Amino acid sequence: MEQEPYDLVVVANRLPLAAETDETGEVRWVRSPGGLVSSLEPALRLKRAVWVGWSGRAASDDDVDVPVPESLGPCALREVPLTARQIELYYEGFANDGLWPLYHDALRESTYSSEQWDAYVAVNERFAATLADIAPPDAIVWIHDYQLQLVPKMLRDQRSDVTIGFFLHIPFPPYELFSRLPWRTEVVDGLLGCDLVGFQRPKDASNFIAAAVELLGVDTDDDTIEYANHPIHVGTFPISIDVRDVEETAAGRATRQRMSQIRARLGDPEVILLGVDRLDYTKGIGLRLKAFAALLESGQLDPERHVLVQVATPTREAVEHYQDERHQVEQLVGAINGRYSRIGLPVVHYLYQTLPFDELIALYRAGDVMLVTPFRDGMNLVAKEYAASHIDGDGVLVLSEFAGAADELTDAVLVNPHDDHALQQAIVTAVEMHRHKRRSRMAGLRDQIHKSDVQGWAHRFLSQLAAGSPASSSD
Ligand code: F6P
């Protein structure tokens, strides 16, 4: 096939657009869920790139004749079609019921099934074949996330001319956990097909190096692994957001109006506490709700003055752990509202919805206290979006120590979400924080995100990849 002269080939499980079918059966293309897309898409706006990925629908769906748009802005799109069975075994199964819990501190039991593994291999082969086909000679190929860990080696075996980078958006577990994976050696071997492997936090990078040493006996020199006569650089690149985009939206008149409207609709409470998460068991929504309820019960929070808005974005609804989590969260919301709400004034406002970007920014602006309390999170971009939205310089962020963002956002109220007393105390500290202190800590958060936006993140990764020099965590 004829290869277009792309500057960059990007590949992720999902394309930045996903097909959504409305009640009339009409297909619309909407932004795909998750932090990967919301970060990567703005970072590519100035590049002649092609993005290879899945459209979020099954290849056998009736609406498959509605083709994926050819491009999104300057970025060309190239679909890798998946069948319903592949989605079940590779995406819902191996990636999200096997790897996802394992890579997040084994918070839920993983399923390890050979049938799912075979589908993971087959889908990774399919992605690699597409890349081998479309990548121009000597191309730079940037592969993303845990769904595609075998692609680097598969691609290298077919195209020795290309330069291959991989970035893992989620944590890489310590060897004691990773070694549970029946196909642990194959996964590490797959990643070692890269020239550069990037992680969110230094600990993820050192966990990966330890696994490579343990399983494949590789030689290492600082952040470089030597394997099969090929150097693989390993580095830390904490991902970020499009700060300017968030700030511009936050400053808009429509956002300010919507923010006031939201406050009024909530009954003009003294303090709006806010949670915004994909409805994932890693996010700690249940314990957050329990902490809120305990504070209402003890009288440290008052339903007439304090309300909680919890946005829970639907995600991976076919996977049982997610169904269980939704059930538990919704039971808790019902119980808390039943006990503490007044007619017309719920104390928890729960939205199981995907909100448009503008609405989300208005909500961030309306939120006096943002609760980001995951048990484990690669980075957590909600924390960064909240700080970027608060152009008024006010607002408090309560942030889990176990989110990657905690390394940088040290002006947040940091908390161990497993410790219920500490979590309650962190909420009280945030709610009662004096205005002067709030403003000074928010200034610290905003300084930090201005130092590292997503364009800088992509630039650092890609220049490191192009230079082929050892990656460093400091620049
Ligand atoms: O970074 C984690 C991640 O799995 C991304 O790969 C993905 O884009 C996002 O979360 C949302 O998940 P999903 O694609 O399964 O809806």
- One-letter-per-residue 3-state SS of the chain: CCCCCCCEEEEEEECCEEEEECCCCCEEEEECCCHHHHHHHHHCCCCCEEEEEECCCECCCHHHHCCCCCEECCEEEEECCECHHHHHHHHHHHHHHHHHHHHCCCCCCCCCCHHHHHHHHHHHHHHHHHHHHHCCCCCEEEEECHHHCCHHHHHHHHCCCCEEEEECCCCCCCHHHHCCCCCHHHHHHHHCCCCEEEECCHHHHHHHHHHHHHHHCCEEECCEEEECCEEEEEEECCCCCCHHHHHHHHHCHHHHHHHHHHHHHCCCCCEEEEEEEECCHHHCHHHHHHHHHHHHHHCCCCCCCEEEEEEEECCCCCCHHHHHHHHHHHHHHHHHHHHHCECCECCEEEECCCCCHHHHHHHHHHCCEEEECCCCECCCHHHHHHHHHCCCCCCEEEEECCEHHHHCCCCCEEECCCCHHHHHHHHHHHHHCCHHHHHHHHHHHHHHHHHCCHHHHHHHHHHHHHHCCCCCCCC
**What is each CA distance from 337 to 268, 271, 278, 353, in whole angstroms?**
18, 17, 21, 19
pLDDT of residue 61: 57
Q: If you measure from the C-alpha of residue 96 to the centroid of ligand 1, how many angstroms do you get, rounded to a whole number? A: 9
Q: Whose CA is nearest to atom 4 of ligand 1?
A: 34
| Atom number in ligand 1 closest to CA 315 | 16
Residues 6+ apart with CB under 8 A from 355: 311, 313, 363
Please report the pLDDT score of residue 125 as a whole number: 98
From CA 158, how far away is CA 139, in angstroms rounded?
13
Of 290, 260, 463, 447, the residue nearest 363 (C-alpha): 260
Say which of 97, 144, 145, 169 is annotated catalytic.
169
d(CA 350, CA 337): 10
The amino acid that residue 417 corresponds to is P
For 20, the token pair is 């959504």
| Predicted pLDDT at 266 | 97
432 C-alpha vs ligand 1 centroid, how far in Å? 35
The CB density around residue 197, as the number of other CB atoms within 10 Å, is 29
Report yes or no: 11 and 151 within 8 Å, Cβ to Cβ: yes
Give the pLDDT confidence score for residue 104 in this predicted structure. 98
The angle at the Cα of 435, spanning 433 to 437, to the nearest 5 degrees, equals 65
What whole-number distance in Å separates Cα of residue 154 and Cα of residue 158? 7
Phi, psi of 397 (to 5 degrees): -105, 120
**Helices 357-366, 243-251: crossing angle, 10 deg rounding:** 70
CA–CA distance from 260 to each of 211, 256, 268, 369 (Å)?
51, 6, 9, 16
Residue 377 among the catalytic residues? yes
Hey, which of 169, 172, 201 would you mutate to test ligand 1's pocket, going by the most ligand atoms within 8 Å of its Cβ?
169
Of the residues 145, 377, 411, 453, only one is catalytic, namely 377
Q: Which of ligand 1's atoms lies nearest the C-alpha of 36?
A: 8
pLDDT of residue 64: 56
Question: pTM of the predicted model, to two decimals?
Answer: 0.95
Our answer to whether residue 65 is catalytic in this structure is no
Token pair belonging to 332? 């808790």
**Closest C-alpha residue for ligand 1 atom 9:** 34
Choosing from 40, 145, 172, 354 the residue with most ligand 1 atoms within 8 A of its CB, the one to mutate for a pocket test is 145
In ligand 1, the atom with minimum distance to the C-alpha of 278 is 11
- Tell me the CA–centroid distance for residue 417 and ligand 1, in Å: 22
Positions of the chain with pLDDT lower than 50, given as ranges: 469-475
Q: How many CA atoms lie within 13 A of 186 on its CB side?
A: 13
Ligand 1 atom having least distance to the Cα of 14: 14
Report the separation in Å between the CA atom of 144 and the middle of ligand 1, taken as the mean of its atom positions: 10
Asked if residue 309 lies in contact with residue 275, where contact means CB atoms within 8 angstroms, the answer is yes
Q: Give distance in angstroms: CA of 34 to centre of ligand 1.
A: 5
Residue nearest to atom 1 of ligand 1 (CA): 169
Ligand 1: which of 36, 38, 103, 148 to mutate, judged by most atoms within 8 Å of the beta carbon? 36
Q: Residue 20: what pLDDT?
A: 82
Give me ligand 1 centre to Cα 10, in Å: 15
Distance 35 CA to ligand 1 centre (A): 7
- Nearest Cα residue to atom 12 of ligand 1: 34
Ligand 1 pocket by C-beta < 6 Å: which residues?
13-14, 33-37, 145, 169-170, 315-316
Query: Which atom of ligand 1 approaches the CA of 169 most closely?
Result: 1
Q: Which two tokens stand for residue 330?
A: 């919704």
Could you give the CA distance from residue 7 to residue 48 in angstroms, rounded to a whole number? 5
| Residue 395: φ, ψ to 5° | 110, 150
Of all protein residues, the one whose alpha carbon is nearest to atom 10 of ligand 1 is 34
Supply the pLDDT for residue 40.
Answer: 87
**Residue 96 alpha carbon, nearest atom of ligand 1:** 15
- Distance, CA 100 to ligand 1 centroid (Å)? 10
